[in-house]
Amino acid sequence: MPAATRTWAESNPAAAARRVALHDGTVAEAEAELECALDDVDRYIVAFSGGKDSIALVIRLLELGVPRERIELWHHLVDGKGARFFDWPSTLAYCQAFADAFDLPLYCSWRIGGFLREMLRSDTPTAPVKFETPTGPDMVVGGVGPGGTRLRFPQVTSDLTVRWCSSYLKIDVAARVFTNDARFEAGRFVLLTGERAEESAARARYSRTKPHGASTRSRIVTQWRAVHGWTEAQVWAAMQRWRVNPHPAYRLGFGRLSCMTCIFGNDDQWATVKQLSPDILYLIASYEESFNATIDRKHEGVLVRANRGTSMIPPGLDELAKASQEETFNEPILVDDWSLPAGAFKHTGGPT
C-alpha cells in the first residue's frame, strides 16, 4: 500500500476497514480507491447528470464518510442555455432539487450554443465554454480555435473522436473548468464519473482510477469511477436506501438517463419521444434529410423507427409525461413510498 494511504489507514482503522468492506474489487483496486478517499483531497467533484449512476456516486461518497463541504456537483448542459434540442427539459431542475435536498452545491457548465451549434458548425471554430463559479459571474473560455465543419450527428460508437457529443459537450467542458477556474490552480481533486462495467464490454475495460488530463505539477486531478464495479441492482438499492425519487425519465420507462433523444436510442425510445415531444422528433428528422444521413448510420431515420416502435410510457402517467417536458421539477427528492421505476433493469440505448 502506498505510504500516504498506509498512514491514513493506520490512523483511521475503522474508516479504512469500512471503505475496504464497501469495495467489491481486488486489493489493488481497493488501495487505489482508498487513495481517492484520503483526507488531503481538497474537493470531490461529481459529474452529475441526475441519472441513477451519478446519484450512486454521491451516495458512495457520503457512505464513505466524505464531508459534504468537500463535495460539489457539476452538471453539463448538453443544449447550453439556448433552445432545447436533445436533453430532457426537466433535468436541470431535477439536479438542482437533488443538490438542495442533499445540501450540496451545483455548478453548471456548457458549450455556448450547445449540441445544436456544434452539430451545425460550418467552417467555424468550436464554441467557447461557459461555466458557473461560486463567487462571481460566469466565466467564458475558448472559442478561438481553427475553423471546422460537422453538419452531422455524432456517430453511434464508443470512439469519442467521432461521438463528439460526449467529448465536446461534457469531457472537454469539465477539463476547461479545471484549467481556468482559479479554485483549481493548486491542490488535490477527485473527479467522480459514473461509468459501470456492467453497461458494456468497452466500459468493463475502463480503469477505476486514472490521472486526469487537467493535472499539472501543482494541480493533481484523479478521475475515479467509484461505482464501476456496481451492478444495476446495487445502484437501485442505494437509491432506495436513501429514498431518492428517480428522475421522471426512469418512471416513464427509460432505462438510462442520457439525452431524451440519445443517438443510441432504440425504436421504442423514438416512439416514446414521438409521444413526449413530436416537434423535436420532426426537427431531428429534418436534419437527417438535410445531412443525407440518419442519426444512426446502421438504421432507418427516426420517423420510421418511431412508427415501428412502441411507446414505453406506462398507463396513467400522462401528467408525469407532460411534466417531464417542463423546465421545472415540483416533486420531493426524498420520498417515503419508494418503488422501482418502470425503467429499472430495462435495456434501452445509451452511451457505451
For 314, the 3-state DSSP assignment is: coil
Q: Is residue 341 part of a domain?
A: no
d(CA 74, CA 52): 15
φ, ψ of residue 155 to 5 degrees: the values are: -85, 150
CATH code of 222's domain: 3.40.50
Instruction: List the alpha helices (DSSP H) in the chain.
Output: 3-11, 13-22, 27-36, 52-63, 91-101, 114-119, 164-166, 172-180, 201-204, 232-241, 248-251, 267-276, 278-291, 302-308, 318-323
Q: Is residue 109 part of a domain?
A: yes
Q: Is residue 230 part of a domain?
A: yes
Domain tally, the chain: 1
- Please give the average pLDDT of every successive group of 10 residues along the chain, which has 352 residues: 44 52 54 67 97 97 94 98 94 98 98 97 97 94 94 92 95 97 96 94 90 96 94 97 98 95 96 98 98 94 98 97 97 97 85 62
* pLDDT tens, position by position, 245-290: 999 999 999 999 989 999 999 999 999 999 999 999 999 999 999 9
- Counting beta carbons within 10 angstroms of the beta carbon of residue 200, is it exposed (0 to 12), middle (13 to 18) or buried (19 or more)? middle
Q: Is residue 74 part of a domain?
A: yes
Q: Output b/e per residue, 36-52; b: 16+ Cβ within 10 A.
A: bbbeebebbbbbbbbbb
What is the Cα 88 distance to its own chain's centre? 13
d(CA 88, CA 19): 35
Q: Which domain holds residue 50?
A: 3-236
In this prediction, residue 348 carries a pLDDT of 73
In this prediction, residue 73 carries a pLDDT of 98
Strand partners for 111: 129
Q: Is residue 106 part of a domain?
A: yes
Is the distance from CB of 67 to CB of 42 less than 8 angstroms?
no
- pTM for the predicted model, two decimal places: 0.90
Q: Is residue 152 part of a domain?
A: yes
* pLDDT tens, position by position, 217-254: 999 999 999 999 999 999 999 999 999 999 999 999 99
Q: Is residue 276 part of a domain?
A: no
